[in-house]
Amino acid sequence: DIVLTQSPALAVSLGQRATISCRASQSVSISRYNLMHWYQQKPGQQPKLLIYRASNLASGIPARFSGSGSGTDFTLTINPVQADDIATYYCQQSRESPPTFGGGTKLELK
């Protein structure tokens, strides 16, 4: 299985930029397709798709969220961070079956 590694937590100040990283144990890119996706989950809620195929904003997601990366290294950026963004963020790959998730990065306020 492809293992996705995320830092457990990140502390940021409101109005600042947050950069959340995800590293894959092998490439999750095929040709021009980067098969990494990002979700936000708040306590008591289901995960919400934020970014698909590394850099595409899902429907209804604010433009302060963006994604980048290719191969094994991917980044989710939130700029500027708002109070409503305090949550846990997960990456997920679909390059190989089974699809796997990162361990999650909990975004906290400084």
Partner 1 sequence: EIQLQESGPGLVKPSQSLSLTCSVTGYTITSGYDWSWIRKFPGNKMEWMGYISNSGSTNYNPSLKIRISITRDTSKNQFFLQLNSVTTEDTATYYCATGLHYFDYWGQGVMVTVSS
Tell me which residues touch partner 1 (CB under 8 A).
35, 37, 39, 45-49, 52-53, 58, 88, 90, 92, 94, 97-101, 103-104
> How near is the Cβ of 15 to partner 1 at its closest, in Å?
27
Residue 15 or 45 with smaller CB distance to partner 1: 45
Residue 64 or 106 with smaller CB distance to partner 1: 106
> How near is the Cβ of 80 to partner 1 at its closest, in Å?
26
SS3 track for 3-72: CEECCCEEEECCCCCEEEEEEECCCCEECCEECEEEEEECCCCCCEEEEECCCEECCCCCCCEEEEEECC
> How near is the Cβ of 88 to partner 1 at its closest, in Å?
7
> How near is the Cβ of 67 to partner 1 at its closest, in Å?
12
CA 44, CA 80: separation in Å to the nearest integer? 24
Residue 40 or 81 with smaller CB distance to partner 1: 40
User: Which is it for strands 18-24 and 73-78: parallel, antiparallel or unpaired?
Assistant: antiparallel
